[in-house]
Amino acid sequence: MIVDDAPFVALDLEDAAVAAGFRVIGPCGSVSATLGEVNRWTPACAILDVQLADGPVFPVADFLQDAGVPLIFHSGTSAGDELLDRYPGARFCAKPSQPADLMNFVRQAVDL
């Protein structure tokens, strides 16, 4: 699952995920759209931007964490340490990042 409200970033992530052999849910650009999707599908992993157009991604992250979905936060504005304290086991990849680096995090997350 890809959650990012920046269309070009979201599409680049989707292209990288598909090229790496993953099927993608999304991209979703808002908390409300993402909650609608996770009520229909349970992703194997989620790449989450922290600040979305309609607020912080935390309701989505809480839902996914409770469902046992590995989380990868992909943000240029949030403190990784605070996110990792709130979501133990999650990973943090600062923006901008190389798509290959992010896909390595996804591979590691789904292999757990």
**Percent of the chain scored above 90 by pLDDT?**
75
- The pLDDT score that the predictor gives to residue 78 is 64
Tell me, yes or no, if the pTM score tops 0.85.
yes
User: How does DSSP assign the chain, residue by residue?
Assistant: -EE-S-HHHHHHHHHHHHHTT------B-SHHHHHHHHTT---S-EEE-SEETTEESHHHHHHHHHTT--EEEEESSS-HHHHHHHSTT-EEEESS--HHHHHHHHHHHHT-
- The pLDDT score that the predictor gives to residue 83 is 86
